[in-house]
A and B are shown apart, each in its own frame.
Chain A
Amino acid sequence: MNGQLKKCHIAITSFIDSCSSHNLDSLPIVAVEMIHSLFLINHAGDIFLEKHWKSVIGRSVCDYFFEAKENAAEPEDVPPVLQTPHHYLISIYRDRLFFLSVIQTEAPPLFVIELLHRVVETFQDYFGECSETVIKDNVVTVYELLEEMLDNGFPLATESNILKEMIRPPTILRTMVNTLTGTSNFEERLPSGQLSTIPWRRSGVKYTNNEAYFDVIEEIDAIVDKSGTTLCAEIQGVIEACVKLTGMPDLTLSFMNPRLLDDVSFHPCVRFKRWEAERVLSFIPPDGNFTLMSYHVNAQNLVAIPVYVKQNISFFESGSGGRLDLTAGPKQTMGKTVEGLVITVHMPKAVLGASLTATQGSYTYDPATKVLVWDIGRLNPQKLPNLRGSLSLQAGAPKPEDNPSINIALKIQQLAISGLKVNRLDMYGEKYKPFKGVKYVTKAGKFQVRT
């Protein structure tokens, strides 16, 4: 880039003239408003919580959203950005809930979407899950969180560490204590983190057991075609950390093979300069649980496909029924066992029922949603699981045209399928010896086999 810049520097000399001549005509107008209001809507379409950071906007603004929801086949098909005569509605759909923000003027969409996701993540962090019941049960905390996270529609405190100092997350024990003693979840101390030099870590942390755990979790997103060739595959990885260390530790985490990683993205605590220069993660960690980094591995030859599915799904020309024959087997598992294997087939509309026999695990067919679920469990390489039998079709229906696609869920413990390995973890700045641990898990993300 720098080389590029210099070249242009020489090539273009008349820039300043052209710049000044354009100076007045059209300067971009920057958005001055952010999120005006937030509505929480369940998948049935009921608004169960609303929060206004500026003036109150009537619920009728959501009618545009409900109209779009009517038109969409599935809740997740509702377009994330809608325009109404006076507002923009930007929504995200997570955990079967819509988080709908109302915006009055132009705003950077990526910013708003990211902020909404941050709100959801904070709820998950506080309440363990993000569902309508949980939000309703903790409505006071929810309002208080929203009040702290945004002021006048602008993001204020979104770091979970800082929030937790101001508003304590509810725990079962504390809820009981609260009802007995009448205390609530609000912190009485001044949030020191807001004034500390490192915004993500509060000062004066103390633990008797000093421990740092890292989970390397990888998900395989892949599409495999009929003949078994991989159409596209990538690995989405995250490193989740749970760090409980006294004082201000400075950690350095190094990998055996850091060149594997593409598109890395870090927690703000990671020093990017050192990553660029030495490919090590150097950071002062936040206290507690956080996502240290996320990454992609795209190079197709590096993405191992752990299982294969041999499938034969056919329908008779007469249209009276069909046959199904599925076999699953291990492909590239690096010597580990595949567990929690579940195969899901979305059948064509005309399929009424299935009578099948499984050599391992159990299967269910839901005639309403047309989904066949075969729960295999642990994959035994000596005796490959097989599911076969006949499918019954609606009487008189033509032979289905669309091919069912097969989705696979699986889990491999103690393996990061990309081959990523943590080399060592060092701690500076503190005297004690921490307990360290690394765990690897591989899961299937959007893993799909076409037929």
Chain B
Amino acid sequence: MPYLGGEETVKELRRALSNPHVQGDPLRHRSTVLRVIRVMSQGVDVAGLFSEMVKACATTDVVQKKLVYVFLCSYASLNPELSLLVINTLRKDCQDPNPMVRSLALRNMTNLRLPSLVEYVQQPLTAGLRDRAACVRRVAVLGWAKLHSLQPHADIDAAVVNELYSMLRDNDPVVMVNCLRALEEILKEEGGVAVNKAIAHHLLNRLKECDVWGQCEVLGVLQRYRPHSEEELFDILSLLDPCLLSPSVPVMAATLGLFLSLCCRGLPAVSLAALRRAQGPLLAACGSASPEMKFTALCHVQLLLRSLPGLMGEHYKRFFCGYAEPAYIKQRKMQVLVELVNDDNVGFVLDELKGYCTDVSPDTAQAAISAIGRIGRSYSDQCLEILTGLLGLKQEHITSVVVQTMRDLVWVCPQCSESVCEALEGCEDTLQDSQGRQALLWLLGVHGDRVSSAPYVLEAFVEQVRSEMAAGVKTELLTATMRVFLCRPAETQDTLGRLLHYCIEEEADMNVRDQALLYYRLLHCGIEETRSVLQGRRSDPSLGVLIGRPAEPVSQWARSFNTLEPLRQCNAGAESAPQAAPYHLALDPEPSLDLSDPLNPSQDRQETGEMAALHRGVAWDQHRAHEHQDGPAADVPGPSRPVKVDHLLVPVADQ
């Protein structure tokens, strides 16, 4: 920030600082230094005062020292030569009888962060480790870590490391925790502190003395410890048991994390018991006043539910959204609600979700509709009723999401297709965005025989194909028209002809054109071949049912507990997919195998243009099946779709 009169101010301050009268009067001297700091915080460059400030450092006034240190630490890197002067003063301060001064000097000495000064700092730091005042030792211990980060490649002094290890037995709990922190940083390459039995037991015994931050730190380090006997393990667990109910959420989470890492492999039953025990505090954190805390707690509740589905079923009301809650919390809450649905509460949950569907924020509304769709896998009738009702609102963004949700629902619940087909009539007018229209086209194509108006809707689409921008819609339109042609040739033949003509003759997008060419040639091969390519599966119920999904073993996710991992998929749907979903079952390569012969008699697999288009046409089902392993299709961001299809091509073509 340019500051008018900055140079003037600096000059004036310099004059004041070097004025012997000011220097003689401690109060005036201090206030001048304070003015320098104020000016510095306003963004004026006061680096020119460096030498004056170094002189001002040689004082008995602690307050003035503090102020000068603030200045020196900010400008030291600009004046490495002059900072040598500071070091002398600081080293002298390290021998001051006042422990406060000693710790201040030591802390600031390490905060200068100048590699050239390292040799001068080592000696006072070593002395600081043996200081009789705890506050000096606290600073000295961390000082070694800072020193190490200045020269990350320098050899580690074994004597220092040993000293730090022995200081884990220090009387002061903060010194102990700081030792852990310093060792973790210094020994990063070797995987942190080596936790043996003696250290682990010592840390556990001192746990109570530490403050909450220290407790978290210790519990984190202990995750690396493996008890030697079952006896020992249970002793540790009993000792830690009260911490599971700790009033501090971070401590509770760290304890649970330790429980999981100790037990998840050998003793799944104990980890489940620990999870049940921790659900109370976790639920309380979900109602915390801080939205950030709430969000993190919700993400961890989701983790818990992966192993204990339906655990908090009776607490579902706690996950109802408030009007003023941030969107990211609402979306997480809905994801949790979906997991908690059971026979008793499904009505209430659906009523609640229905209310969110008309939310002012389109994102929230979309999340609510997708949530209803997911519940629909288990309770299809009730959900379809709500979804159909939403179509009646004729709201653009709602209709689009509803159609996409219906598409996903039909794929896993074939019994719904009847009512979905009925609901679809007339909604094409409200659809504007490409995602929604693609979903509609897919539904029309696959269930063209049941939607009476299907050929005419397609015809309307074909008439506007020239003004269509999205290539995805065009390819979907091609496939859908082909499929409807197969079941209702008389009504569709003319439309299909016009569409193929347009796509082959006028279309600029290569993919669309290739696909049109492919279909054109396919039709030449005969109706049976065409049918075998285009009429794949209409649904895959094996991916459905949400309720009664098998519980995952805790070890699947134990390592990501209390890390940033569960929070990361902020916007992507974090539905925990069943890991055991049969990959090859959904990916049925047969149709494409049949086809490679008539189309590519030369067996030239390198000629990929048409092949790609071919697969894109038929791979859609497989692609969708694939998607369902990762989560509901609506949650996958648009641009990743074609990439995924190409991805799929590899295994198919290689067979």
Contact = CB atoms under 8 A, between A and B. Distances in A.
Interface in A46-89: 54-55, 72-74, 76-83, 88
Contact of B250 (A23, A33, A110, A263): A110
Among A109, A159, A182, max chain B CB count under 10 A is at: A109
B266 A111 contact: no
B133 interface: yes
Interface in B555-607: 559, 562-565, 567-568, 570-571
A401 B393 contact: yes
A108 B254 CA distance: 8
A140 B33 CA distance: 12
A296 B191 CA distance: 41
B28 interface: yes
Contacts of A407: 323-324
Contacts, number: 263
B323 A405 contact: yes
A188 B266 CA distance: 56
Contact of B318 (A23, A158, A232): A232
Interface string A187-210: 010110011000100000000000
B196 interface: no
A323 interface: no
B253 interface: yes
Contact of A140 (B37, B292, B320): B37
B139 A151 contact: yes
Contacts of A199: 211
B292 A113 contact: yes
A217 interface: no
B191 A265 contact: no
A109 B247 contact: no
In terms of DSSP, what is the predominant structure of the interface of chain A?
mixed
A1 B284 contact: no
Interface residues of A, number: 102
B250 A152 contact: no
Given A22-B265, A76-B291, A349-B360, A401 B395 contact: yes
A94 to B, nearest CB: 8
Contact of A15 (B230, B248, B254, B567): B230
B274 to A, nearest CB: 8
Contacts of B295: 79-80
Given A74-B326, A155-B213, A158-B211, A29 B320 contact: no
Given A83-B568, A232-B318, A450-B355, A30 B192 contact: yes
Interface string B467-496: 000000000000000000000000000000
A140 B281 contact: no
Given A186-B62, A407-B323, A8 B269 contact: yes
B113 A221 contact: no
Interface stretch (B234-242, B405-413, B457-465, B506-514): B234-242
A151 B254 CA distance: 21
B482 to A, nearest CB: 38
A346 B283 CA distance: 29
A32 B185 CA distance: 6
A159 B67 CA distance: 23
A144 B70 contact: yes
A308 interface: no
Contacts of B655: none
Given A182-B27, A195-B135, A81 B192 contact: no
Interface in B104-132: 107, 113
A100 B649 CA distance: 43
Nearest to B247: A265
Contacts of B41: 139-140, 143
Contact of A154 (B212, B213, B237, B568): B213
B241 A1 contact: yes
Contacts of A54: 146, 149
A266 to B, nearest CB: 5
26 contacts: A8-B267, A9-B230, A12-B230, A32-B181, A77-B326, A83-B564, A110-B562, A111-B213, A113-B293, A116-B292, A139-B41, A140-B34, A140-B67, A152-B145, A154-B178, A154-B217, A155-B213, A156-B174, A182-B27, A184-B34, A190-B99, A194-B134, A199-B211, A231-B352, A296-B284, A401-B395
The 6 closest A-B pairs by CB, nearest first: A182-B31, A265-B247, A263-B284, A15-B266, A80-B292, A186-B63
Given A27-B223, A110-B253, A151-B138, 15 more contacts: A5-B238, A8-B270, A9-B234, A28-B261, A74-B326, A88-B564, A106-B565, A108-B257, A111-B213, A144-B66, A154-B178, A182-B31, A221-B322, A232-B317, A446-B322
Interface of A: 1-2, 4-5, 7-9, 11-12, 14-16, 18-20, 22-23, 26-33, 54-55, 72-74, 76-83, 88, 90-94, 106-111, 113-117, 139-140, 143-144, 147, 151-152, 154-156, 158-159, 181-184, 186, 188, 190-191, 194-195, 199, 221, 223, 231-232, 234, 236, 262-266, 268, 272, 296, 346, 349, 401-403, 405, 407, 446, 448, 450
